[in-house]
Structure 1
Amino acid sequence: MSTQEEAQPLISHLIELRNRILKALASVLVVFIGLVWFSSQIYEFVSAPLIDRLPEGATMIATDVASPFFTPLKLTLVASVFVAVPLVLYQIWAFVAPGLYKHERRLIIPLLISSSLLFYCGVAFAYFVVFPLVFSFFTAISLGGVEFATDISSYLDFVLSLFMAFGIAFEVPVAIILLCWTGATDTKSLSEKRPYIIVIAFVVGMLLTPPDLVSQTLLAIPMCILFEIGLFFSRFYTKPRQNEDEQAEE
């Protein structure tokens, strides 16, 4: 095979990759266009857990002239990415699917669906469970001569970091299933390392969340529970043997 003939498949793969990336970006853009008119309402919804717990007379503030305009737009863009996650994952699936065996496709599709749902569950857990507890704790702390007033841009950065931390942390079951399925580890080995996993969960909670014990613990405990869930379901997946791969090839 000539060098030119070898280069053609690579070029076609690169073109396909470019097209999939453009379609993923287009899906995010379409969602953003649909949500941008409601950017103020979206920010009000996200800021409600703090607003409802502010001391009497306290409000959120904007320390930059353009913050009231750009901050809701930034949140809407991030929300568009969150909403478009299934569409983005589909583009990833459409790109890699032709190179997968039949039994691998049966595994990947449930993982793509479950990973999207788990990410949304992590974000919802942060909003409905973690935020009320964390903001109740923070607003209850009072210092003499210090008025509680949070900048809207700083608040957005804070909540987005928690959204991402909990969204990613809730992917633990998917990660465990993939590790066991690829043969990188097995359920018995993971079970034996359970005490270390618990310690790692609290370390990750410390690194991914703000420096307060409440949010760190609220991230570490679900990670431990999700580890057990992933450990249970990973028993149904084993490393595929080479002869099975060859028989399953389309």
Structure 2
Amino acid sequence: MTAMALSTLYLTVLLLSLGSGALPDVPSSGWCSPGHNGPPGRDGRDGKDGRNGDAGLKGDRGEPGEPVPGPPGKVGPAGPSGLKGEKGEVGQPGPVATDPLTKSLLADVHRITSRLSVLEKAVSFRVVRKVGEKYYVTDGFVDTFDAGLKFCRDAGGDIVLPKSEEENQAVLEILTPRVLYGWIRATDRKTEGIFLDTDDSPLTFTKWKPGEPNDADGNEDCVVIYSSHKMWNDLGCDSKCLVACEIIP
């Protein structure tokens, strides 16, 4: 007989005994021995979540994090200009140009710069006459032929030497009624009677007064232009005459 059947029988007897008022004798062994465990019951459903508990204590402060740069701000207004700094040292010269185009451009710049420099000198005189590519200029300076040569060459030019009727007329225009003679750049110092330019080149134009040059008193080795006769004459080089310069840019 199985344990379950014994348990059922025992309960039946017990109930009958209670009905009759007497308890049955319980055997010392057999009916009261513990039965075997039954199979486990099925898992029940999960219960509802409980309510949230009270907030815990505030934790310790953590270590500071790595700084993260923000986006750049807007450009602010320009501040006032600072004081002018001291002049810096002169830099090293740049490399010499080697390609043909750069050389050509540098040559043009040099030529234009030189031309402007000459023009600046020309317009600095009180009297200026332009004829062709030449500028005839004077400040009314009166001196000897050699002093006039130095003056004009220091100014970037030379004493005038007309090479055409037009240029001869331009020289006459810068003479004044008070100045009768103006120097012409020609002498016969090397060979008497043969007048040359100061660079020893022959004259390509002359405007001699009739009977001139005559080397009066054997001491007329330089040339002047008469403001009255509009012609040339030989004269002593130590005479004091108007110095008129020609400047060619």
Question: TM-score per shorter chain, which class?
Answer: under 0.3
Structure possessing the higher radius of gyration over alpha carbons: 2
Normalised by the length of structure 2, the TM-score is 0.24
Normalised by the length of structure 1, the TM-score is 0.24
| The structure with more helix, counted as a fraction of residues | 1
**Higher-RCO chain (CA-CA 8 Å, sequence separation at least 6):** 1
| The structure with more strand, counted as a fraction of residues | 2
